[in-house]
Amino acid sequence: MSQSAKTPSTSTAGGAPGPHRSADPLPEATHRTVEVPLGRIHLVEQGTGPLVLMVHGFPESWYSWRHQLPALAAAGYRAVALDVRGYGRSSKPREVSAYRMLAHVADNVAVVRALGEETAVIVGHDWGSPIAANSALLRPDVFTAVALLSVPYAPRGETRPTEAFARLGGDGEFYVSYFQEPGRAEAEIEPDVRGWLAGFYAALSGDAAPPSDPGDVTGYSVPPGGKLSDRFPEDIRLPLPWLTGADLDFYAGEFERTGLTGGLNRYRNIDRDWEDLAAWNGAPLTQPALFIGGENDAPTRWMSDAIKAFPRTLPGGLSASHLLDGCGHWVQQERPAEVNRLLTDWLHTLPAAPAGTSD
């Protein structure tokens, strides 16, 4: 991995060249908009050293990594958090197919190149986890190690994803199925973005009581004739210990400006991804890997078999698999100190760790 801090080719969303500062909650970081083959990607950068690229999930933002950017920079890394296409200041193509997994992988490779680097460690949370995993799977020459948060690695299987998700949901409709029809979830969310986000973040956090049955998906299904928000807990009020009113304002402001379609389109490509990645059916990841999940995180519970399969699916060197007690889905925000320690300790074991930090 190159440890140089070369100057990338950049442009602002309005076309003016060069990096720009923004009146955001992390003023010490640098904002850039870099060109990628299908548009632009907005990213936030802090520190110098080996490149660590952080990819967020739904419904989030580069801001989801606000605690990791300064911590990784202080540890000797060039920490970069991007707005995934469809989010924030990044491009938002109209075509649903523009959000297929292959497009996200291409974006990540283009970001590394635009930053003047040859390789990077990639870290992903929620949808960012499979984006990171597939980036490492398809481009091992670029992504030399991978850290996955909340969603464990699971290779492509034999069943079409929409068919698998259609079997879930209990007496309702599983949320992934609910998100498939363009405009349907948007009609629920966009009239009150801030209120919906507050409920969604709370419902998936460690502040919500987990179901007694780890396999229960009722809280993540839409009741007949209802909305997903009908399942949100009513006994949780903001601010949460990890989510302030200002944090929620930032997220809500982004989605009130952009809408939710870009983020939801990621769900609308799961069958397309399955077709695109047929050649990698069952393929393992061979790079050094790390997994961090929350004990009370639904995807971590549902995918416990995927975690058990890590010796087979992550044979290249799973450094560790961590489940944080009492933590929910938003691990790097709910438990920033623990996640920062786990990430930096792991990064320091990698061959491209900054001088003087390798074990």
Marked catalytic residue, from 126, 247, 273, 297: 126
DSSP states along 123-136 = EEETTHHHHHHHHH
C-alpha span between 186 and 28 (Å, rounded): 34
C-alpha span between 214 and 24 (Å, rounded): 38
DSSP states along 162-197 = HHHHHT-STTSEEHHHHTSSTTHHHHHHGGGHHHHH
Is residue 276 part of the annotated active site? The answer reads no
Chain position carrying tokens 């801001």? 63
- 3-class DSSP state of 223: coil
Cα atoms in the Cβ-side hemisphere of radius 13 Å centred on 228: 25
**Count of Cβ atoms closer than 10 Å to residue 305 Cβ:** 9
Question: Are the beta carbons of 6 and 116 closer than 8 angstroms?
Answer: yes
Marked catalytic residue, from 42, 56, 104, 329: 329
Residue type, 201: Y
- Cα radius of gyration (the chain): 19
- 3-class DSSP state of 201: helix
Is residue 216 part of the annotated active site? The answer reads no
Return the active site residues: 126, 329
